[in-house]
A and B are shown apart, each in its own frame.
Chain A
Amino acid sequence: MALPTESLRPVLVSDASVPLSSLAPGSRATVTDVDASTPEGRRLLELGFLPETDIRVVRRAPLGDPIAFYLRGGQICLRRTEAARIQVLTTDADPET
């Protein structure tokens, strides 16, 4: 859970992008940027991890990796290393799912 010092800071959940891999299950987020410098990164775009896409973190596998995401009408799982290429802003708004 959050450290006490952090909880004293103003609550600005979405002031900066974080890697998608860092979000807890149940979180909702919007993609801001994808590292598409490699074929792996470009594949993430083709799978629908595009800027402004709403994503919900569904769950982690029992051993913590991979992670299942719900986006664009379907569920896709990625390993942590792949999900780390995707930068997101956490959102509170319910994405249209």
Chain B
Amino acid sequence: MNTAAATAPLRLGLVGSPNSGKTTLFNALTGLRAKVGNYPGVTVERREGSADFEGRRSVVIDLPGAYSLSPVSPDEEVVVRVLDGGLNGAPEALAVVADACTLERSLLMLAQVLRRGIPTCLVLTMTDELLARGGRLDIPRLERALGIPVIGVVGHRGIGIAKLKQLLARPEDWSRPHLMPPDEIHARAGWVESILEHVLIRHPGRSQKSDAVDRIVLHPVVGPLLFAAVMVAFFQLIFAWAQPAMDLIEVGVARLGGLVHSQLPAGLWADFLADGLIAGVGSVIIFVPQIALLFTLLYLLQDIGYMARAAFVIDRVMAGVGLEGRAFVSLLSSYACAVPGIMATRTIPSPRHRLVTILVAPLMTCSARLPVYALLIGAFVPAISVAGPLGLQGLVLLALYAAGSLTALLVASVLTRTLLQEDAMPFYMELPPYRMPTAKLLASQVWRSTWAFLRRAGTIILAVSIVLWCLLTFPRAQVPAGASAAEAGRYALEHSLAGRAGHAIEPLIEPLGFDWKIGIGLIASLAAREVIVATLAQIYAASDQETSLRAAVQNDIDPRTGKKVFDAATVASLLVFFVFALQCMSTLAIMRRETNSWRWPAFAFSYLLVLAYAASFGTHRIVAHLLG
């Protein structure tokens, strides 16, 4: 009977609330063959995977998590639009995924789904947990009461999946409800109650295990301490554990570049391959260890159920600046790097909270600023003790971190009160029972997020790196005869487009105390903040970045004024500039991906540039004035 349907793939939609076990089920049905994209015009992730049900080709669409079809979030709006036939047409069949323990709430949405008239079945997950908590459910009776197929599964153990696939192969044969459920919420609630009266033989009790864990994890005193410990560990792991892999990638990329230089005849082609293309690819994959690690920890904490508790503990603090608990994790991750930090905002359901978090994330002092701070503080801040082991250099570093973090909170509070204050979404959050995710589920989530980064942001980062390389290389200047390699490098850089741009912007940056050399460094640092160190080394024709660059910047004299280029005012001003400015194309690229438009990266870049300029200007004036 379904010979015609067997040729075209069956489009099956999965509908369910965020903690219903929908993702586990999606993985069980599709394996790792998922395509990730975005729905047109919105920032909601679109996930589809191909599957084979008893020989019938199918496309499984993992619809965003929704609590209701009366939408309050972009995720829920997408679900409604898809079910109504917008966005590539409605699926031919639907599987509503529901946690057997919270069946009452899921049936409220099932009633709305049934009213769409699409063939629908109900998949009950966590049936093992229901039994463990003393609940009893009569599935055949539920089937009769609803009039649609109902099947119980334990997704992570694969129990019931084979039977489910059998069912999904023939949606044409599914029974339909005898009566259309009501639409109005109170009537719907009555409908749910009348059904559950028949089928829930025993309600599940509260999860004893989870309650016991919560008594410690959410204890008024222990809870916040544990929260602080988890967050410090989280931050440390992203910072420390990713470092060896990042060093390895850096060394590998440098070796590969060296190999190209040694094997190919010297010239433009070798330069492009080594310094443009290979270095560009390197600047993409250098993020992979941090991103993979961040998502591993993030999904682990989320799937276990701790992330919701962490947000519960810290929500009051974040509410003070107009954000919510879940934003905290993103901001913390941004201390390592804003790119994974911005990707972590996906756990925030409110689009407005999410956008504000994305816009302030670059203010958190990321690890790429450290080499810049290290160079300037090492060269210009005396290594004296302020009090005991407390050194001045460390205090300056701490002040830079504090300035960025406090500004982030301040900007968030201004944005939530002005620009982005409309469409407030109610704050509600499930505190699901603690559950241990399987390694397979974890691996698939991490792989998908990392791959999405490589595909969507990686391409932009690679393209911009190559453009920057061109700006730093062309036009090729005729190096004066007899120049050493270091001098030739300096000469070529000064006469490149970027070098000329550095000269051109000198009048603009002079009020900040910067000369053209710093100007070139600022332009080059768009690739990544730490690049300014290598660029300055090239300009000063320094043979190594550690000692000779430090000496070179300390002793550089402005030929016009006869004074040192890097005086206290300029150093302070440059440090402040790096606290605020969004000198990072990777952050811009990931903002573009996560907000689905260039508007917000452009806004972030502009407001942070204005902030950086104003703060640097002020700092330069004040320090110059204080020191006479």
Contacts and interface: CB of A to CB of B under 8 A. Distances in A.
Interface in B109-144: 109, 135
A49 B313 CA distance: 23
B218 A61 contact: yes
B186 to A, nearest CB: 7
A8 B417 CA distance: 46
Given A43-B72, A73-B104, A65 B319 contact: yes
Interface in A33-88: 36, 39-40, 42-48, 50-51, 58-59, 61-66, 68, 70, 72-79, 82
A46 B203 contact: no
Contacts of A36: 185
Nearest to A56: B206
Interface string B166-210: 000000000000000000011001000000000000011110000
Contact of A51 (B186, B223, B426): B186
B70 interface: yes
Interface stretch (B268-276, B428-436, B473-481, B541-549): B428-436
Given A44-B426, A73-B102, A61 B315 contact: yes
Given A43-B68, A61-B312, A50 B204 contact: no
A92 interface: no
A40 B104 CA distance: 20
A39 B350 CA distance: 14
A97 interface: yes
A15 interface: no
Contacts of B432: 74-75
Given A74-B430, A97-B203, A42 B70 contact: yes
B312 A68 contact: yes
A47 B67 contact: yes
Given A51-B186, A73-B203, A75-B430, A46 B313 contact: no
Nearest to A50: B189
Contacts of B430: 74-76
B101 interface: yes
A59 B524 CA distance: 53
B316 interface: yes
B72 A74 contact: no
A48 B428 contact: no
A42 B188 CA distance: 13
Nearest to A82: B426
Nearest to B426: A40
Interface string B416-443: 0000000011111111100000000000
A91 to B, nearest CB: 17
Interface in B310-359: 312-313, 315-317, 319
A79 to B, nearest CB: 5
Nearest to A63: B316
B85 interface: no
B70 A46 contact: yes
A96 interface: yes
Given A46-B67, A59-B218, A72-B104, A77 B316 contact: no
A97 B205 contact: yes
Contact of A64 (B205, B316, B424): B316
Contact of A77 (B103, B108, B203, B428): B428
B317 A63 contact: yes
A85 to B, nearest CB: 9
Nearest to B211: A58
Interface in B389-434: 424-432
Nearest to B215: A59
Contact of A97 (B67, B108, B206, B218): B206
B101 A73 contact: yes
B431 A39 contact: no
A42 B426 CA distance: 10
A78 B428 contact: yes
B427 A82 contact: yes
Contacts of A39: 72, 426
B105 interface: yes
B69 to A, nearest CB: 9
B130 to A, nearest CB: 9
Contacts of A70: 206
B104 A61 contact: no
B220 interface: yes
A46 B427 contact: no
B511 interface: no
B224 interface: yes
A48 B192 CA distance: 11
A62 B108 contact: no
A79 B186 contact: no
Nearest to B227: A62
A77 B218 CA distance: 13
B315 A65 contact: yes
A74 B218 contact: no
A61 B105 contact: no
Contacts of A96: 203
Contact of A46 (B101, B108, B206): B108
B317 A68 contact: no
Given A39-B72, A68-B312, 9 more contacts: A36-B185, A46-B108, A46-B185, A51-B186, A72-B104, A73-B101, A74-B99, A78-B427, A97-B205
Interface of A: 36, 39-40, 42-48, 50-51, 58-59, 61-66, 68, 70, 72-79, 82, 96-97
27 contacts: A36-B185, A40-B426, A42-B70, A43-B70, A43-B426, A44-B426, A46-B67, A48-B104, A48-B105, A48-B108, A50-B185, A58-B214, A59-B218, A62-B221, A62-B313, A63-B313, A66-B312, A66-B315, A66-B316, A72-B105, A73-B103, A73-B104, A75-B430, A75-B432, A77-B429, A82-B427, A96-B203
List the 9 closest A-B pairs by CB distance, nearest first: A63-B316, A40-B426, A46-B68, A75-B431, A74-B102, A72-B104, A73-B102, A48-B105, A50-B189
